[in-house]
Amino acid sequence: MDFKAIKNLTYISQVAFIMLTPILLGVYFGNWADEKLGSSPWILMVGIFLGVSSAFLNLYKFVMKAAKDNEKERQEDYKPNSRE
């Protein structure tokens, strides 16, 4: 397996983690707060909204950084050989 394939697999696993973690935390803490305060399902819905918003913001930042890194690698790969 080459380096680019491994790098792409790490990107996929990072995207899954970036998307799932904030959503699950929002659901967990929203449900917990609803149980404590007896305000079901309002805080849960706020938690879900905040989790999804955070997940997409994190995904956007990740994709922009990955695109910048990819462009930098392309420029380095196509540099002319200075020894000639």
pLDDT per position as a tens digit, 23-46: 999 999 999 999 999 998 999 999
Query: Are 52 and 21 in contact, with CB atoms under 8 Å apart?
Result: no
41 or 1, which is more confident?
Answer: 41
Q: Is residue 9 part of a domain?
A: no
1 belongs to a structural domain: no
What is the C-alpha to C-alpha distance for residues 13 and 29, in angstroms, rounded to an integer? 24
Report yes or no on 61 lying in a domain.
yes
CA-based radius of gyration for the chain = 20
Please indicate whether residue 79 or residue 44 has the higher confidence score (pLDDT). 44
Q: What is the pTM of this model?
A: 0.78
Is 45 inside any structural domain? Answer: yes
Mean of all residue pLDDT scores within the chain: 90
pLDDT score for 33? 96
Number of domains, the chain: 1
Q: Which amino acid is it at 30?
A: G
Q: Is residue 33 part of a domain?
A: yes
- CA distance linking residue 50 with residue 26, whole number of Å: 7
Question: What 3-state class would DSSP assign to 79?
Answer: coil
In a domain, 64, yes or no: yes
Domain, as residue range, for 44 = 22-70
Please indicate, yes or no, if residue 53 is contained in any of the structural domains: yes
